């Protein structure tokens, strides 16, 4: 069964406008299942830093961050909060020296966020499957804010939160 994090990852993975902005595992990755996969993760913050530093690329991490509203008595809707982290490593030269300003790194992160926001922000009440999680609403609760990652060699992480209404699971 998917939660909002794993469901959001499965949903976003279907959109080339999102995945095309992210880094990807090399074709020769030692884990064959990772080969060519975009850096789109569910709750794997610890693994992201190891992959990110020196990559000059971006990654998205989705996490289930608890509830954002109380369920109605006798109702079946659940109201979950989705944490969205956009990790962005600055562009670097072959010696791993940073070759862009922090504002340009932030702008690359904002481009990733804009693509994700376009796909997640809902404008209609239709049910949409995120993996096997049935969602009926998703709206931005807090806008993204980028901050430098401590000891990340100018790596930045932006965090935003979404309110997701869930109506159970399909199949």
CATH of the domain at 142: 3.30.2000
* pLDDT bracket for residue 23 (50, 70, 90): very high
Look at residues 31, 12, 8 and name the one whose alpha carbon lies nearest to residue 22: 12
Which run of H or of E encompasses 50?
helix 45-52
Asked whether residue 56 carries a pLDDT value surpassing 70, the answer given is yes
pLDDT tens track for 95-136:
889 999 999 999 999 999 999 999 999 988 899 999 999 999
Of 48 and 49, the one with more pLDDT: 48
* pLDDT bracket for residue 48 (50, 70, 90): low
The pLDDT, as a whole number, for residue 77 is 85
Structure tokens at 150: 């401590």
The pLDDT, as a whole number, for residue 66 is 82
Domain that holds residue 58: 4-169
* pLDDT bracket for residue 144 (50, 70, 90): very high
Total number of domains in the chain: 1
Strand-strand pairing, 78-88 and 156-169: antiparallel
* pLDDT bracket for residue 34 (50, 70, 90): confident
Residue 99 · residue 54 · CB < 8 Å: no
Placement of tokens 């993204």 in the chain: 144
The pLDDT, as a whole number, for residue 19 is 97
The pLDDT, as a whole number, for residue 141 is 97
**122 Ramachandran zone, left/alpha/beta (phi>0; psi -120 to 50):** beta
């Amino acid at each position: 069964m998917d939660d909002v994090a794993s469901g959001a990852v499965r949903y976003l993975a279907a959109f080339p406008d999102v995945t095309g902005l992210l880094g990807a595992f090399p074709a020769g990755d030692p884990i064959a299942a990772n080969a060519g996969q975009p850096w789109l993760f569910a709750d794997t913050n610890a693994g992201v830093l190891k992959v990110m530093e020196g990559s000059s690329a971006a990654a998205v991490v989705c996490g289930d961050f608890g509830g954002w509203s109380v369920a109605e008595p006798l109702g079946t809707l659940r109201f979950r909060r989705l944490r969205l982290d956009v990790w962005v490593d600055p562009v670097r030269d072959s010696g791993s020296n940073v070759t862009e300003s922090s504002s340009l790194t932030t702008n690359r992160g904002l481009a990733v966020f804009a693509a994700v926001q376009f796909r997640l922000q809902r404008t209609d009440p239709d049910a949409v499957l995120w993996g096997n999680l049935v969602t009926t609403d998703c709206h931005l609760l807090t806008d993204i804010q980028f901050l430098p990652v401590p000891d990340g060699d100018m790596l930045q992480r932006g965090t935003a939160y979404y309110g997701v209404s869930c109506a159970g699971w399909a199949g």
